[in-house]
Amino acid sequence: MNVLAVLLQANAGGGGMSMIVMMIAIFAIMYFFMIRPQQKKQKEIMNFRNNLTIGQEVITAGGIYGKIKELDVTTVTLEIASGVKIKIDRNSIYANAQQNGANN
């Protein structure tokens, strides 16, 4: 009971300004450690997708390794094996296969 009385007195003592400062600090920490790095990563992936070239070896979001044979505005044709081509959405291209250590 004494602990509850102490906590209630501490909160009633004009701590409103410190609460606002603490909320701003928490938001700033979340922004710099969570939101900003995610935005940078999304921008890098978007630039990578916009700069795709024919003959480039890539990995899809589903884990399929292939070489780009045709590029369209929204689709990409990948050759995943000799004579086997698949058409996928450009947004499902995830990474460059050579940068991820693929040995094709």
Residues 6-50: tens digit of each pLDDT:
555 655 555 677 888 888 999 999 888 999 999 999 999 899 989
- Give the pLDDT score at 97: 76
Q: Is 101 left (phi over 0), alpha (psi -120 to 50) or beta?
A: left
**Residue 104 pLDDT greater than 50, yes or no:** no
pLDDT (0 to 100) of residue 1: 55
At position 12, the amino acid (one-letter code) is A
- Whether residue 5 is predicted with pLDDT greater than 90 in this model: the reply is no
Exposed / middle / buried, residue 33 (Cβ in 10 Å: 0-12, 13-18, 19+) = exposed
Q: Is the pTM of this model over 0.75?
A: no
Residue 68 β-bridge partners = 78
Does 57 score more than 80 pLDDT?
yes
Per-residue pLDDT at 95 exceeds 90: no
